[in-house]
Amino acid sequence: MCVNRDFKAALGLNDPCQICMVVRDLHKTAEYYQKVLGIGPFVFPEIKYDNITYLGQPSEGYWEMAFARFGKMELEFSCPVKSPSIYEDFLNEHGEGLQHLGFDVPDLDATIAQATELGIKVLMSGRTPVGGFAHLDTTEYGGTIFEVFQRPGPRV
């Protein structure tokens, strides 16, 4: 496993564009961040994923999300709704908090293949008609999960 500066280059990643926090109450947390910290407004898209996998197995897991601009980054709140998901795992193990850093990639399949070649496992993944996502097991190297996603553009 590549654990130095070349790790980012080896996966072909640009700078992170997203920070995700797992929360227990999506709307209450978004309201707090907007009213108290001035971050927002938040959008609450309903994104339907196909072919969700969780730890290599098909999954019916579901989570809700909220997004807002956070400087140059996109701030995401994820709230688990239906098991299993890595968001539920995170809440059970750590409580609320930073769960992943997100990276836009031009070719999700190529990035997943490169990660696999480097010995990085995919924890959870899913597809949309225009792309998809994969959460990579990078916690032992950077303290958090890296999510790579292919999408038409930022949500906010």
Per-residue pLDDT of the chain (156 residues), as tens digits, is 445 557 778 888 999 999 999 999 999 999 999 999 999 999 999 888 889 999 999 999 999 999 999 999 999 999 999 999 999 999 999 999 999 999 999 999 999 999 999 899 999 999 988 889 999 998 887 788 999 999 877 777
Which residues have a Cβ under 8 Å from the Cβ of 100 and sit 6 or more positions away?
18, 19, 20, 135, 144, 145, 146, 147
Interatomic CA distance for residues 67 and 78, integer angstroms? 9
Interatomic CA distance for residues 82 and 79, integer angstroms? 10
In this prediction, residue 155 carries a pLDDT of 73
Looking only at the bridges linking them, the beta strands covering 62-70 and 73-82 are: antiparallel
All domains of the chain in start order, with CATH: 13-38+48-150 (3.10.180.10)
Interatomic CA distance for residues 14 and 18, integer angstroms? 11
pTM score, whole prediction: 0.91
